[in-house]
């Protein structure tokens, strides 16, 4: 259900009853299940107790999926500050589930009919991105994208690698990461048979993907990839963790503390996430 002080519980209950969900799976809810349990958490209020409750639900669901008691998991939104207050070293589901499942190489992908984006770095400060954007990391993400996109009906994925700097570095005039890291990683991936173009200027590559030239864009950092996804497909995009031994999907939005408990939250993104999880589990 995600953070119990956010919109997670209400959209989880709504999604579990949605005919689109019940037509493809038997939903099992993890989190505070009764009104009395949920009443322990004030809507919109940040707390360590809420963070711990969200963590416990994810860990139990992941354990059941690993044990074969579940075919897939779809997660509601969690709050990173609440996780920190609860003492968690993990800043999001992706990092937490990689740890819980023992997966070494994972990547966050946002999948929608209009645009698909895979992130090379995730929940880190922008100032840390150049240091974390190594050739090995970029090659790993390209490999994960190429290996997993066939599960989404793309037999031979056409990938684009976005540049980090303006104009993809302009030949080194505006930054050297494209020349020193991204271009060699893309060339190595092409040598392994992966169809990848780039690094390409980030201000145009997402438009090209929406127009159908590419099946997915590998973005260098969180907001570089998620701003275009949420502009083009908010409410339709599904967060999928690539590289896990279990199927995991999630919503494309946060806890929405500002509207939590008011009964106005839209469950559409979670419905999409559950339906996609069921589809992937059945493939």
Domains 1-103+244-283 and 106-241 belong to one CATH topology? yes
Distance CA 79, CA 50 (A): 9
Can you name the residues that pair with 196 across neighbouring β-strands?
159
pLDDT value of position 35: 86
Residue indicated by tokens 């997966």: 103
Q: What confidence tens digit (pLDDT) does each residue in 28-39 have?
A: 999 998 889 989
pLDDT value of position 91: 80
CA distances from 79 to 50, 76, 256 (A): 9, 10, 10
Nearest to 55 by CA among 32, 36, 78: 78
pLDDT value of position 278: 97
| Architecture field, domain 1-103+244-283 | 3-Layer(aba) Sandwich (3.40)
Nearest to 88 by CA among 46, 58, 45, 55: 55
Length of the chain: 283
pLDDT along the chain (283 residues), means of 10: 95 96 97 91 96 95 96 95 92 88 94 96 94 97 97 95 96 95 98 97 97 98 96 91 96 93 93 96 90
Top-level CATH class of 106-241? alpha beta
183 Cβ contact list (under 8 Å, min separation 6) = 198, 199
**How is the chain split into domains, by residue range?**
1-103+244-283, 106-241
pLDDT value of position 92: 83
- Contact call for residues 121 and 91 (beta carbons, < 8 A): no
Q: What is the DSSP string of 45-56?
A: ---HHHHHHHHH
């Amino acid at each position: 259900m995600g953070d119990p002080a956010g919109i997670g519980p209400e959209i989880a209950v709504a999604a579990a009853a949605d005919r689109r969900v019940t037509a493809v799976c038997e939903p099992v809810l993890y989190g505070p299940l009764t009104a009395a349990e949920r009443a322990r958490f004030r809507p919109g209020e940040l707390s360590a107790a809420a963070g711990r409750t969200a963590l416990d639900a994810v860990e139990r669901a992941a354990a059941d999926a690993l044990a074969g008691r579940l075919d897939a998991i779809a997660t509601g939104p969690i709050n990173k500050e609440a996780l920190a207050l609860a003492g968690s070293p993990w800043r999001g589901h992706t990092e937490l589930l990689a740890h819980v499942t023992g997966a070494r190489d994972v990547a966050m992908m946002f999948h929608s009919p209009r645009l698909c984006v895979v992130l090379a770095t995730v929940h880190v400060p922008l100032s840390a991105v150049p240091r974390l954007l190594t050739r090995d990391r970029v090659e790993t993400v390209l490999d994960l994208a190429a290996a997993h996109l066939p599960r989404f009906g793309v037999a031979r994925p056409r990938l684009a690698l976005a540049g980090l700097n303006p104009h993809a570095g302009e030949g080194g005039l505006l930054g050297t990461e494209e020349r020193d890291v991204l271009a060699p990683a893309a060339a190595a991936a092409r040598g392994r048979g992966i169809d990848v173009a780039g690094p390409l200027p980030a201000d145009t590559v997402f438009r090209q993907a929406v127009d159908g030239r590419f099946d997915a864009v590998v973005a260098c950092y969180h907001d570089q990839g998620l701003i275009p996804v949420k502009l083009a497909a908010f409410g339709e995009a599904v967060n999928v963790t690539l590289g896990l031994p279990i199927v995991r999907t999630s919503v494309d939005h946060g806890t929405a503390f500002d509207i939590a408990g008011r009964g106005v939250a839209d469950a559409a993104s979670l419905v999409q996430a559950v339906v996609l999880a069921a589809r992937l589990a059945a493939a």
